[in-house]
Amino acid sequence: MASRKYDLVVFGATGFTGRLVVEYYLRTYGPPSPSFQWAIAGRNQDKLRKVIQELETHKGVPESKYLETLIGSSEDSVFLDALTKQTKVVVTTVGPYGKYGSKLVAACAANGTHYADLTGEVPWIAKMIASHENTAQASGARILHCCGFDSEPSDLGAHVLYNAMQKRGLTPTEIKFVLGSSQGGVSGGTVHSLADAMMSPVEEMTNPYILLPDKKKGSMTVKQTRGVWWDQDVRRWNAPFIMAGINTRVVARSSHLMDRVPFTYLETHSFPKGLWGCLQACMLTVAVGVAMVSMAIPPIRWIVLKVIPPGSGPSENARKKGYALIYLVGKGLNKEGKEEVVKGSVRISGDPGYQETAKMLAETGMALAKDKLSVQGGFHTPASALGDTLVARLKRRNLIIEVEE
Ligand SMILES: NC(=O)c1ccc[n+]([C@@H]2O[C@H](COP(=O)([O-])OP(=O)(O)OC[C@H]3O[C@@H](n4cnc5c(N)ncnc54)[C@H](OP(=O)(O)O)[C@@H]3O)[C@@H](O)[C@H]2O)c1
């Protein structure tokens, strides 16, 4: 890539998650410097200045005053063309992505600019792949969607477990992601994005293989789980995991891109053994069903979107108290054809959906900007483009994805 003014630009810096990404970069990598040239972008100069002032006066990050600002809308193709020609990487938190994100993806693909986002809007991702894959391959742009809690723990967790099984001489047959305990909040941007995604055709929402080239099953089989069941591997009650509808699609794409052997993949949300755990799993299953149906009813949807506006999200205190523990279970056949189990975990300290998502997105951006990567341009996944590099980056920042010895 010819030299560009910036290594990286954060677009959407005025939003709830965008502000966390900016704060993370400042605290972790400092203000723009010869070794890391970066800037922030948004559609409103006053709001961007307010972000800088708030970081300076309330958050104790005075270096924010050195940040350059780029002003423009996600609808303005001329601005997006100029933006993506000035930077190696764009990290974007401008969402809902289906509403505001398409022109930026097009500009990155055309100008060979690497891209990372936080979308979980799978039907929109499928559209972006269909429209811009060839252009991105030709320009060298590495385009990465789902670089937050959806879906890096899943994608990188499956990556680490799959490789560990192969290293131990096993042929992987099953990988399971089991959310153990967790605590976190939700932002207005997420609720609005979810509401938008739910307007997609049912067949696009329900096809686990929608991110594969012919939208048909590849080597990996997604196991859909329904209802509540006892899981002997982790000795916990399993219920369906609300984010499985996003994460399983990403892991299926990784498996296709990385030419993995056939195996089954599933995700669950688990609760401790005992009657209370079983009851909690049942209540969650019902609650998720009710929430999904409610959001499809226009008056309820309208009220929810009014009550949780864009820009809102969990408090700093709540973000600090958040966490997630995910159990990873891999099964594979040894040379004698006997099944062996390999276990691992993902350990996240801090609200997974925001504080730690900001970290995941920011480190993905850094890896795209600074690390030596072997993959060519195109629509990748976090695992297929960054794999171990990103796992190591996150580990250095206390987000641990690892296999038990
Ligand atoms: N995958 C995950 O784990 C995860 C976690 C967190 C968030 N997310 C996703 O990330 C996205 C952002 O969430 P959020 O809570 O941070 O949302 P938010 O607070 O509503 O922020 C949205 C940002 O987009 C900007 N924006 C909106 N329309 C624009 C336009 N036409 N041109 C330029 N900028 C525009 C807003 O700018 P203004 O300030 O000027 O309005 C704001 O900076 C959502 O899609 C959400 O689902 C995903």
Is the pLDDT confidence value at 65 over 90? Answer: no
Q: Whose CA is nearest to atom 48 of ligand 1?
A: 118
Listed range (52-66, 148-162, 228-242) with the worst mean pLDDT = 52-66
Please give the pLDDT value at position 134: 98
CB neighbour list of residue 160: distance below 8 Å, 6 or more residues apart? 328, 344, 391, 401, 402, 403
> Closest ligand 1 atom to the C-alpha of 120?
1
Q: How far is the CA of 68 from the centre of ligand 1 (A)?
A: 20
Among 189-203, 312-326, 390-404, the range with the most confident prediction by mean pLDDT is 390-404
> Which residue from 14, 151, 355 has its CB within 8 A of the most atoms of ligand 1, so it is best to mutate?
14
Q: Whose CA is nearest to atom 11 of ligand 1?
A: 95
Task: Report how far residue 192's alpha carbon sits from residue 400's, in angstroms, rounded to the nearest whole number.
Answer: 30
Closest CA to 359 of 100, 155, 389, 351: 351
> Closest ligand 1 atom to the C-alpha of 18?
16
Instruction: Tell me the one-letter amino acid at 146.
Output: C
Average pLDDT value for residue range 40-64: 91
CATH architecture of 6-148+354-394: 3-Layer(aba) Sandwich (3.40)
Q: Which two tokens stand for residue 333?
A: 């056949």
pLDDT band (50, 70, 90) for residue 398? very high
Task: Report how far residue 116's alpha carbon sits from residue 123's, in angstroms, rounded to the nearest whole number.
Answer: 17
pLDDT band (50, 70, 90) for residue 76? very high
Q: Which two tokens stand for residue 337?
A: 């054809």
pLDDT in tens, 322-334: 999 999 999 999 9
pLDDT in tens, 371-380: 999 999 999 9
> Closest ligand 1 atom to the C-alpha of 146?
1
Task: Report how far residue 253's alpha carbon sits from residue 262's, in angstroms, rounded to the nearest whole number.
Answer: 13
Closest CA to 128 of 91, 102, 160: 102
Q: Whose CA is nearest to atom 17 of ligand 1?
A: 189
Please give the pLDDT value at position 2: 63
Q: How far is the CA of 189 from the centre of ligand 1 (A)?
A: 5
Task: Report how far residue 137's alpha carbon sits from residue 108's, in angstroms, rounded to the nearest whole number.
Answer: 11
Q: Do 260 and 207 touch, CB atoms closer than 8 A? A: no
Buried b / exposed e along 125-137 (16+ C-beta atoms within 10 A) = bbbbbeebbebbe
Say if strands 171-183 and 221-222 run parallel, antiparallel, or are unpaired: unpaired
Q: How far is the CA of 156 from the centre of ligand 1 (A)?
A: 24
Task: Report how far residue 403's alpha carbon sits from residue 328's, in angstroms, rounded to the nearest whole number.
Answer: 8
Q: How far is the CA of 295 from the centre of ligand 1 (A)?
A: 20
> Closest ligand 1 atom to the C-alpha of 149?
3
Q: Which two tokens stand for residue 102?
A: 């398409």
Strand partners, 400: 347
CB neighbour list of residue 255: distance below 8 Å, 6 or more residues apart? 158, 218, 219, 220, 263, 265
Is the pLDDT confidence value at 210 over 70? Answer: yes
In degrees, rounded to 5, the angle at the alpha carbon of residue 402 between the alpha carbons of residues 348 and 159 is 105
Q: How far is the CA of 354 from the centre of ligand 1 (A)?
A: 12
Task: Report how far residue 102's alpha carbon sits from residue 127's, in angstroms, rounded to the nearest whole number.
Answer: 9
Please give the pLDDT value at position 354: 94
Q: How far is the CA of 193 from the centre of ligand 1 (A)?
A: 9
3-state secondary structure 132-162: HHHHHHHHCCEEECCCECCEHHHHHHHHHHH
Protein residues with CB under 6 Å of any ligand 1 atom: 12, 14-18, 42-44, 47, 73-75, 93-97, 100, 118, 120, 148-150, 187-190, 193, 310-311, 313, 353-354, 357
Strand partners, 323: 183, 349
Is the pLDDT confidence value at 17 over 70? Answer: yes
Q: How far is the CA of 53 from the centre of ligand 1 (A)?
A: 20
Average pLDDT value for residue range 139-149: 98
Name the helix (H) or strand (E) containing 324: strand 323-333
Domain boundaries, the chain: 6-148+354-394, 152-349
Task: Report how far residue 355's alpha carbon sits from residue 52's, in angstroms, rounded to the nearest whole number.
Answer: 18
Task: Report how far residue 146's alpha carbon sits from residue 127's, in angstroms, rounded to the nearest whole number.
Answer: 15
Task: Report how far residue 109's alpha carbon sits from residue 129's, in angstroms, rounded to the nearest whole number.
Answer: 10
pLDDT band (50, 70, 90) for residue 252? very high
Q: Do 308 and 165 touch, CB atoms closer than 8 A? A: no
> Which residue from 9, 10, 17, 305 has its CB within 8 A of the most atoms of ligand 1, so it is best to mutate?
17
Please give the pLDDT value at position 26: 95
Secondary structure of residue 362 in the 3-state scheme: helix
Q: How far is the CA of 198 from the centre of ligand 1 (A)?
A: 17
Task: Report how far residue 40's alpha carbon sits from residue 185's, in angstroms, rounded to the nearest whole number.
Answer: 25
pLDDT in tens, 92-110: 999 999 999 999 999 999 9
Dihedral of CA atoms 330, 335, 337, 340 in degrees, nearest 10, equals -30
Q: Which two tokens stand for residue 404?
A: 């038990």
> Closest ligand 1 atom to the C-alpha of 312?
19
Q: How far is the CA of 311 from the centre of ligand 1 (A)?
A: 7
> Which residue from 21, 69, 190, 241 has its CB within 8 A of the most atoms of ligand 1, so it is best to mutate?
190
Please give the pLDDT value at position 61: 83
Whole-Å CA distances, 146 to 124, 219, 381 = 12, 21, 8
Task: Report how far residue 215's alpha carbon sits from residue 212's, in angstroms, rounded to the nearest whole number.
Answer: 5
> Closest ligand 1 atom to the C-alpha of 73?
32
Is the pLDDT confidence value at 225 over 90? Answer: no
Count of residues for the chain?
Answer: 405
Q: How far is the CA of 172 from the centre of ligand 1 (A)?
A: 38
Secondary structure of residue 117 in the 3-state scheme: strand
pLDDT in tens, 338-396: 999 999 999 999 999 999 999 999 999 999 999 999 999 999 999 999 999 999 999 99
pLDDT band (50, 70, 90) for residue 54? very high
Please give the pLDDT value at position 356: 97
> Closest ligand 1 atom to the C-alpha of 14?
43
pLDDT band (50, 70, 90) for residue 131? very high
CB neighbour list of residue 307: distance below 8 Å, 6 or more residues apart? none
High-pLDDT (> 90) share of the chain, %: 82
Q: How far is the CA of 221 from the centre of ligand 1 (A)?
A: 32
Closest CA to 395 of 323, 357, 347: 347
Q: How far is the CA of 350 from the centre of ligand 1 (A)?
A: 20
Q: Which two tokens stand for residue 63?
A: 């270096």
Among 140-154, 190-204, 215-229, the range with the most confident prediction by mean pLDDT is 140-154
pLDDT band (50, 70, 90) for residue 195? confident
Q: Whose CA is nearest to atom 35 of ligand 1?
A: 94
pLDDT in tens, 272-281: 999 999 999 9
